[in-house]
């Protein structure tokens, strides 16, 4: 059995789900507010459905089809949501999907988790492209995609039907060449503190200093001996750390 990856950020641990997580998944994903704005979560959503979904993860990971993570807060080790990549190895791209439980909205958790997953996708899985989509009536998801450096790519009008209503789907994407990793420039100005901080290939833990001498709208981040510009809006302190532990060679 292949070991599935665990990703660490400042406030979160992104780890494989187990069947024991099913009650929490049901409790949060089962909320109508969550199901209403996601493409694939039904409502009502039962614990049996959560168990069936979780039971597919190991095999799907070993086949190279997807990788899924429970989003867990370091503060209390509680599951607050899920995030993952649906992979297409032949074309070296992936679709990212996520949800966060209603009590944890508006705390930046999804943005923080998405940064780590984007970094994992490009630096560990060597993907060429990652994309994501959301219902046009849920602009908060679009703001997350902008914060992690994705570009608006278009709107698929009335593309899906959710609960009898045809919904517009907005698509965002980012290419590997646009990703600003530890040594990259690219779109670094659109990245926040949880990005650009470590080398996943060496599993190195890197401290990143956010200089207060920079202009108010930008922070100078030094990582792995190189300097990059980044958007500091989400930075909670003068230092940020993140790390990836992965079973992927």
**Rounded to an integer, what distance in angstroms lies between the CA atom of residue 84 and that of residue 138?**
19
Q: Looking at the predicted structure, is the pLDDT value of residue 154 above 90?
A: yes
Q: pLDDT per residue over 192-209, tens digit each?
A: 333 333 333 333 333 333
Q: Tell me the domain boundaries of the chain.
A: 6-245
**Rounded to an integer, what distance in angstroms lies between the CA atom of residue 221 and that of residue 239?**
10
Percent of the chain clearing pLDDT 90 (strictly above)? 70
User: What homologous superfamily does CATH list for 6-245?
Assistant: Gcn5-related N-acetyltransferase (GNAT) (3.40.630.30)
Whether the upstream peptide bond of residue 44 has omega within 30° of 0, thus cis, is: yes
Q: In whole angstroms, what separates CA 79 from the centre of its chain?
A: 15
How confident is the model at residue 82, as a pLDDT?
Answer: 98
How confident is the model at residue 99, as a pLDDT?
Answer: 97
Angle between helices 22-29 and 47-54 (to 10 degrees): 120
Mean pLDDT of the chain: 79
Measured from the Cβ of residue 26, the count of other Cβ atoms closer than 10 Å reads 18
Q: pLDDT per residue over 71-120, tens digit each?
A: 999 999 999 999 999 999 999 999 999 999 999 999 999 999 999 999 99
How many helices (DSSP H) and strands (DSSP E) are in the chain? 6, 12
Q: Exposure pattern of 231-247 as b/e (b: 16+ CB <10 Å)?
A: bbebbeeeebebbbebe
Q: Which two tokens stand for residue 174?
A: 């980012």
What average pLDDT score do residues 212-220 get? 32
């Amino acid at each position: 059995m292949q070991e599935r990856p665990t990703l660490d950020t400042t406030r979160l641990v992104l780890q494989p789900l187990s069947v024991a997580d099913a009650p929490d998944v049901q409790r949060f994903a089962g909320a109508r507010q969550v199901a209403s704005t996601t493409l694939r979560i039904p409502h009502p959503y039962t614990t049996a459905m959560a168990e069936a979904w979780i039971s597919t993860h190991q095999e799907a990971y070993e086949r190279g089809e997807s990788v899924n993570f429970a989003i867990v807060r370091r503060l209390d080790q509680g599951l607050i949501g899920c995030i993952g990549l649906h992979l297409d190895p032949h074309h070296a791209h992936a679709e990212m999907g996520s949800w966060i439980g209603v009590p944890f909205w508006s705390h930046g958790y999804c943005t923080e988790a998405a940064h780590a997953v984007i970094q994992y996708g490009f630096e560990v899985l060597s993907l060429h492209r990652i994309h994501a989509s959301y219902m046009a009536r849920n602009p908060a998801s679009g703001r997350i995609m902008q914060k992690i450096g994705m570009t608006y790519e278009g709107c698929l009008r009335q593309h899906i039907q959710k609960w009898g209503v045809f919904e517009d789907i907005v698509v965002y994407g980012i290419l590997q060449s646009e990703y600003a990793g530890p040594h990259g420039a690219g779109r670094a100005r659109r990245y926040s503190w949880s990005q650009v901080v470590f080398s996943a290939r060496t599993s190195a833990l890197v401290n990143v200093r956010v200089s207060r001498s920079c202009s108010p709208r930008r922070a100078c981040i030094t990582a792995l001996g190189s300097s990059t510009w980044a958007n500091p809006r989400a930075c909670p302190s003068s230092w940020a750390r993140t790390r990836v532990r992965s079973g992927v060679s």
